[in-house]
Amino acid sequence: MRSVSGDGETVLPWQVIREDGHGNRYRVGSYATRTEAQQVADRLGRTGGRAKGGGGGDGSYLVEPLECASGECA
C-alpha cells in the first residue's frame, strides 16, 4: 500500500487515475477513502482537470483501489 510518509504508518489505498483519449493512464492522487477519491475525481471531471495552459479535456477520471492502479483490473 502507498503511504504518506516513508514510514508506512498512513495507508492511502484509493487512487484517482486519469485515462486520456489514447488509453494512457496517469495517477493523479492517492486517498484514504473511496469517498474522498470519488469527490476528487468528480471535481476534476467537472472542471476538465486542466491546469492553466493545459491540454484538451478528452480524458476521464477513475477511482481504483491501489492493487488496480496499474490497469490490471480495468
pLDDT of residue 59: 80
* Grid coordinates belonging to 47: 472542471
Residue 44 burial (CB count, 10 A): 19
Instruction: Convert the pLDDT of each residue in 20-67 to its tens digit.
Output: 999 999 999 999 999 999 999 999 998 766 544 445 556 899 999 988
* Grid coordinates belonging to 25: 493512464
| Geometric angle at alpha carbon 16, from 12 and 43, rounded to 5° | 120
pLDDT of residue 39: 97
Question: Are 15 and 26 within 8 A, CB to CB?
Answer: no
Q: What is the mean pLDDT of residues 7-18?
A: 84
